[in-house]
Amino acid sequence: MPRSLRVNHQRIKYVKIALSENGYPTQKSLAYETGLSIDTISRFLNCKPVLYGTFEEICRKLNLDWREISTPDFEPSSLKKSINTQELKRNKYQDWGTAVDVSVFYDRTQEMALLESWILQDRCRLLTVFGRGGVGKTILAAKLAKQIQDEFDSVIWRSLRQAPSFDEIITDLVSFVSNHQEPKPDINKLIYYLRTSRCLIILDNLETVLDVGHTGKYRSDYQEYTELIRIIAEVEHKICVILTTREKAVEMNFLEGANR
């Protein structure tokens, strides 16, 4: 199965008819209804590759059978080479820490397609999986990370359940992204390395460093985590960070985009 599909040029007229017949006069209205970005909808309508799950999701809204309007998006001659390269990456730059086993995972197809498109197509840099205890945040983040791992140069998973200090987590991250060249908790070094490669970082259980009952404030010894989250969201770099948390940190209200 190809990872992406594109609308077949000869079928685009049926897609345009389906748009108006299903009550979507503009790209914006379809984007609003699906929760996808206008950029993704525009790619779909311009016969450019869209992730497989996203493609199916848009077709569902337009009452179209995706098999009848799609064409796969891969070049067989380059497929083997790309698989070999990805295998190499997988062996070299991944540290899954205490990530959970995802071999048993019940259906979250729509959520997964949406999150995947936010990260891979919209280049979302900070994604928070937020919800009450036991709802499935960790396993969703793990499944998502496994699914998109090949799109990144490196992957690191860290649980914050033991409440590592800011210096400990920065040292750990800098050491990883610098390939163990940097042993100190230097946030500027972290920014430097994050700008140079596409890294996926998953921080599980952010609520551990938040002060329960003080709506989104960090525990007194953990205030510097604010700086880490702000840098992730605001500094220009190629990484993506997935956070799971039972409580939102206060700065997330300012940083988040629509539906994120």
- Binding stretches for Mg ion (CB under 5 A): 137-138
Instruction: Count the residues of the shown chain that bind ligand ATP, applying the rule CB under 6 A.
Output: 15
Interface pick for ligand ATP out of 47, 139, 144, 199 (rule CB under 6 A): 139
Stretch binding ligand ATP (CB under 6 A), from 44-52, 68-76, 126-134, 209-217: 126-134
Pairing of the two strands 199-204 and 240-245: parallel
Structure tokens at 188: 């500027």
Determine, following the binding rule CB under 6 A, whether residue 88 of this chain makes contact with ligand ATP.
no
Determine, following the binding rule CB under 6 A, whether residue 112 of this chain makes contact with ligand ATP.
no
Q: Name the burial class of residue 211, with classes exposed (0-12), middle (13-18) and buried (19+) by CB atoms within 10 angstroms of its CB.
A: middle
159: nearest Cα among 146, 150, 168 = 168
End-to-end CA distance of the chain: 29
> What would the x/- binding string for ligand ATP be over residues 33 to 72, using CB under 6 A?
----------------------------------------
Could you list the beta-strand ranges (E) of 138-208.
Answer: 154-159, 199-204
Q: Which of residues 65-84 bind ligand ATP (CB under 6 A)?
A: none
| Residue whose CB is less far from Mg ion, 70 or 138 | 138
Stretch binding ligand ATP (CB under 6 A), from 62-70, 88-96, 137-145, 150-158: 137-145
Q: Rounded to an integer, what distance in angstroms lies between the CA atom of residue 44 and that of residue 2?
A: 16
Gyration radius (Cα) of the chain, Å? 20
| Residue whose CB is less far from ligand ATP, 30 or 241 | 241
Residue with tokens 């404030």: 217
| Residue whose CB is less far from ligand ATP, 246 or 260 | 246
Q: How far is the CB of 57 from ligand ATP (least distance, A)?
A: 18
